[in-house]
Amino acid sequence: MSDVKEILGSYSSDIIGTIEDELDVITPNNLQEASIYLTKAGGKMLRPALSLITAEAVGGQKENALKAGSAIELIHTFSLIHDDIMDDDDMRRGMPSVHKVWGEDVAILAGDTLFSKAFEIIINSDKELTSHAQINNALAAVADACVKICEGQALDMGFENRFDVTEDEYMEMIFKKTGALIAAATKVGAIMGGASDEVIDAMYEYGRLIGLAFQIQDDYLDLASDEETLGKPIGSDIGKGKMTIIAINGLSSAGDDSEKLLEILKDENNSQADIDLAIEILTKCGAIEYARNLAQDSVDQAKEVLEILPDSSSKQVLSDIADFVLERHS
């Protein structure tokens, strides 16, 4: 499994180079620096790599999807910058977040600029590698994901101070906030790789499923990892009263303990003992296991969806990435 990170890394330099070329022409300097900052800070590049690998897996070349994949990464970066403003998160990728360095105004603009550039980069795809129809379809996939990202963030903000969020509401939120862009990443890879409509739809579904698993794994790691690996205290979601799939399931399945769990979730000044008790409740009632199984089911389904593809090393990588989503510890 460890070579998934290596494989993702092997696509990084092409993607980063494409992004840097695109952002290099932005003026004035502060806007350019704020726009390129998070790309330089480093990221997993999971989404754009998925685009390139998918293009290969459907029978195309990674070059076909290089611009569309880079655009997906720009959309991801744009959403991180704006989310960090909204959530007032001070750190990102181990560095002060964009609005902490340049202020909120420049951060809003940097996000907007990346957004614009994402569309521009796809439009400027090499016409020898991709047709107008492919470009249009890729743009449609990206625009659709962008709308969903905004809706997902709005839904997430609407969950604050609500403790009656249902599992359906939660699944819609994480699909829109996280799954939709991963699904768009694999979809544009399939489009640019020249896949049939049936395969394009299947690759969207694969992306959607690993996207859900990815988010559920985040919820799981918050309780099941350790502070050193995770880089933040265990149970911080509980401390913040966040409605994760685990909390939602726990509230409906913990029986007599539900009341105590709700009390801890509502309390803004929990002690570590409170959080430990909540984790104990969530473990005992099976909520943690429930989430873990849900994520595993998504991964299994994602791998089944891949069966539409002919066997190839790229198909195997996509299968390994699905497993990797649940193997990661941070």
Of the two residues 158 and 255, which places its CB atom closer to a copy of itself in the complex? Answer: 158
Per CB under 8 A, 133 contacts a copy of itself: yes
Per CB under 8 A, 74 contacts a copy of itself: no
Q: How far is the CB of 271 from a copy of itself (least distance, A)?
A: 30
φ, ψ for residue 193, nearest 5 deg? -80, -5
> How many angstroms separate the Cα of 55 from the Cα of each of 5, 122, 279?
19, 15, 42
| Cβ density class 230-262: b for 16+ within 10 Å, e for less | beeebbebbbebbbbbbbbbbbebbeebeeebb
Per CB under 8 A, 31 contacts a copy of itself: yes
Q: How far is the CB of 107 from a copy of itself (least distance, A)?
A: 10
Per CB under 8 A, 308 contacts a copy of itself: no
Give the pair of three-digit tokens for residue 247: 């909390």
Q: Nearest-CA neighbor of 245 among 215, 206, 224, 272? A: 215
Q: How far is the CB of 261 from a copy of itself (least distance, A)?
A: 26
Binding positions for a copy of itself, 113-132, rule CB under 8 A: 113, 115-117, 119-120, 123-124, 131-132
C-alpha torsion sign, points 320, 141, 216, 238: positive
Size of residue set near a copy of itself by CB under 8 A? 43
Q: Which stretch binds a copy of itself (CB under 8 A): 151-159, 194-202, 209-217, 259-267?
A: 151-159
| Cβ density class 116-144: b for 16+ within 10 Å, e for less | ebbbebbeebeeebbeeebbebbbebbee
Of the two residues 35 and 54, which places its CB atom closer to a copy of itself in the complex? Answer: 35
Per CB under 8 A, 151 contacts a copy of itself: yes
Q: Tokens 């409740």 map to which residue?
A: 281
Please pick, from the candidates 97, 153, 178, 319, the single residue that binds a copy of itself as defined by CB under 8 A: 153
Q: Quick one: the chain helix, strand, coil %, rounded to 5?
A: 80, 0, 20
| Three-class secondary structure of residue 330 per DSSP | coil
Per CB under 8 A, 166 contacts a copy of itself: no
Of the two residues 97 and 314, which places its CB atom closer to a copy of itself in the complex? Answer: 97
What's the CA gap between 291 and 150, in Å, rounded? Answer: 25
Which residues of this chain interact with a copy of itself, rule CB under 8 A? 26-28, 30-31, 82, 85-86, 104-106, 108-109, 111-113, 115-117, 119-120, 123-124, 131-133, 135-136, 139-140, 142-144, 146-147, 149-151, 153-155, 157-158
